[in-house]
Chain A
Amino acid sequence: DSGVTQTPKHLITATGQRVTLRCSPRSGDLSVYWYQQSLDQGLQFLIQYYNGEERAKGNILERFSAQQFPDLHSELNLSSLELGDSALYFCASSVADRSTSYEQYFGPGTRLTVT
């Protein structure tokens, strides 16, 4: 158990809908990272927050947004969902804002299925 929690574990929704994925980092970690894992794209970095501020952006679509709250939990919002958004979404946390020296701890993931 990494100490990172993600809810829900599974999510099934229809195209065009909007969903929110939630992540609680390990106690003491200030950075939260979001990743998407799909069969065709592999594992891709989406976005990073550090202590409430956006710190880095990867291959995140404009239909997707995220935020980190004062209690450091983070939410990833996915809107106007398409079939291709079906994937496993991981959250990871780290104590610092740079992960070259600090490990990222991954949550168990949220499996999103868009029908």
Chain B
Amino acid sequence: AQSVTQLDSHVSVSEGTPVLLRCNYSSSYSPSLFWYVQHPNKGLQLLLKYTSAATLVKGINGFEAEFKKSETSFHLTKPSAHMSDAAEYFCVVSDWTGNQFYFGTGTSLTVIP
């Protein structure tokens, strides 16, 4: 079975400081992993995805994530937080068919001015 665990339900950073949102996955095969962002009262937007190519994945808005098989992790990072980054972030793993997505419980990011 596939699952993801987001290790922090809330993360608070100051504007201009680095962001780290942690995600561990469980999968019986080589997974496809995604990070989505949800701004208040909005739908979800794809930030980046890993599909067995380069282990360091670059996404939109300066975010990136590194796939570490030995640690079963797919942590999301950004060098410098911006106020507009305040949102809910979801780590997602797909099943082997690519048809079913399994979402983490989400991490709420607060950016302090």
Contact yes or no, A2 B98, CB < 8 A? no
Interface flags for B40-82 (1: CB within 8 Å of A; 0: not) read 0111111001010000000000000000000000000000000
Q: Are A99 and B94 in contact (CB under 8 A)?
A: yes
Q: Are B43 and A107 in contact (CB under 8 A)?
A: yes
Contact residue range for chain B?
20 to 34
B residues with CB within 8 A of A: 32, 36, 41-46, 49, 51, 90, 94, 97-106
Q: Are the C-beta atoms of B98 and A99 separated by less than 8 Å?
A: yes
Which of A33, A55, A104 is within 8 Å of B46, CB to CB? A104
Interface size on A, residues (CB 8 A): 26
Chain A contact residues, CB within 8 Å of chain B:
2, 4, 33, 35, 42-45, 48, 55-56, 58, 90, 92, 97-101, 103-109
B32: chain A residues within 8 A (beta carbon): 99-100
Give Cα distance in the complex from A103 to B34, angstroms. 9
Cα of A32 to Cα of B55 in the assembled complex, Å: 29
Would you give 9 A-B contacts (Cβ < 8 Å), ordered by A?
A2-B43, A45-B100, A56-B100, A99-B98, A100-B94, A101-B98, A106-B36, A106-B44, A108-B43
Shortest Cβ distance from A50 into B: residue: B99
Task: Please state if A42 and B103 are interface contacts (CB–CB under 8 Å).
Answer: yes
B41 and chain A: residue at smallest CB distance: A108
Are A109 and B101 also in contact (CB < 8 A) when A42-B106, A43-B90, A101-B51 are? no
B45 cross-chain contacts in A, Cβ below 8 A:
2, 106
Closest residue to A106 on the B side, CB-wise? B43
Query: In the assembly, what is the distance between CA of A104 and CA of B101, in Å?
Result: 10
Contact with B97, one of A43, A56, A104 (Cβ below 8 angstroms): A56
**Is there contact, CB below 8 Å, between B43 and A97?**
no
The answer to whether B98 touches A100 (Cβ under 8 A) is yes
Collect the chain A residues with CB atoms within 8 Å of residue B100's CB.
Answer: 45, 48, 56, 58
